[in-house]
Amino acid sequence: MNPVFRAIVMFAVLWMVFRVGGRRTLAELTTFDFILLLVIGDAAQNALVGDDFAMTTAALVIVTLMLLDLGVGRLSLQSNRLRRVIDSVPVIVIDNGRVLDRVLRREGVDLDEVLTAARERHGLERLDQIKYAIVERHGGISVVPKEA
């Protein structure tokens, strides 16, 4: 198959896998997640170039992937609805100190991770000092402290 079409197919497959798999930032990767990413990268590379090691092929694959990423990014700016589909939405997991357990579970985030973010970024010690904790589109956790 032409390398451009290989790149388009693999981009779609990887996008679907990671979109369905949920958001998780690099900082929160477990050792197994990291190994899994390496294996996925290796398998994707084989699918993208196979035994065709020409520089032109590599350039075509790289440029195609880059343009697709750029295109998807631009597309997500066109409408809020598209952006939701592409990047999901920020989700509140702590609302005025109250933990929204079901939402937390659904997002695959542990309460400890939220408390860690609260300690690291704001020096907060307790749950009741948190006004909002939000799992952002990119998978990071934002914490808004209660006003003293």
Say whether residue 78 binds other proteins (CB under 8 A).
no
Distance between CA atoms of 138 and 84, rounded to whole angstroms? 12
Looking at the DSSP bridge assignments, the partners of residue 114 are none
Number of residues that bind other proteins (CB under 8 A): 19
Specify burial of residue 133 (Cβ count, 10 A radius: 0-12, 13-18, 19+). buried
Phi, psi (rounded to 5 degrees) for 136: -80, 170
Identify which of residues 58 and 99 has a Cβ nearer to other proteins in the complex.
58
Strand 91-95 relative to strand 141-145, pairing? unpaired
Minimum distance between the CB of residue 144 and other proteins, rounded to whole angstroms? 24
Stretch that binds other proteins, among 34-42, 50-58, 99-107, 130-138 (CB under 8 A): 50-58
- Between residue 56 and residue 75, which ones bind other proteins under the rule CB under 8 A? 56-57, 59-60, 63-64, 66-67, 70
DSSP code of residue 96? T
Minimum distance between the CB of residue 13 and other proteins, rounded to whole angstroms? 18
Identify which of residues 57 and 118 has a Cβ nearer to other proteins in the complex.
57
Binding site for other proteins (CB under 8 A): 1-5, 51-57, 59-60, 63-64, 66-67, 70
